[in-house]
């Protein structure tokens, strides 16, 4: 059942959550990453949420699957790695244009 802010269409689309540490001042970095994902994947996404946390937390989760975790993956993703991981989860055959070029 969709929530009040969802349509039946967006309820079926992938949702991304970016959890960031407020004490580490990672809001702007997280918001920039959200903007990059929305610019690239736009209407293919149901939502991109920014989730405030603490304790050095930084992770990116797509429909419950963690695709990036700061400690596990050694820091923050660059935009190329981020978009490729999201693409690989959503539509592995999708061409990301110049991002996929060496």
Q: At 40, which helix (H) or strand (E)?
A: helix 27-41
**Domain assignments of the chain as residue spans, ordered by start:** 15-87
Q: What is the pTM of this model?
A: 0.85
Tell me the mean pLDDT in the region 7-27.
89
pLDDT tens figures, 31-77: 999 999 999 999 999 999 999 999 999 999 999 999 999 999 999 99
Confidence of residue 5 (pLDDT cuts 50, 70, 90): low
Task: Compute, in degrees rounded to 10, the torsion defined by CA atoms 59, 63, 65, 66.
Answer: -10
Q: What is the strand order of the sheet 65-69 is part of?
A: 47-53, 15-21, 58-62, 65-69
CATH number for the domain running over 15-87: 3.40.30.10
Q: Would you call 29 helix, strand, or coil by DSSP?
A: helix
């Amino acid at each position: 059942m969709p929530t009040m802010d969802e349509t039946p269409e967006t309820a079926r689309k992938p949702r991304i959550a970016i959890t960031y540490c407020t004490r580490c001042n990672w809001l702007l970095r997280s918001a920039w990453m959200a903007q990059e994902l929305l610019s690239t994947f736009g209407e293919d996404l149901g939502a991109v949420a920014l989730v405030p946390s603490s304790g050095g937390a930084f992770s990116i989760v797509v429909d419950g699957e963690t695709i990036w975790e700061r400690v596990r993956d050694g820091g923050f993703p660059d935009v190329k790695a981020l978009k490729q991981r999201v693409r690989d989860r959503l539509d592995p055959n999708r061409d990301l244009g110049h991002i996929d070029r060496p």
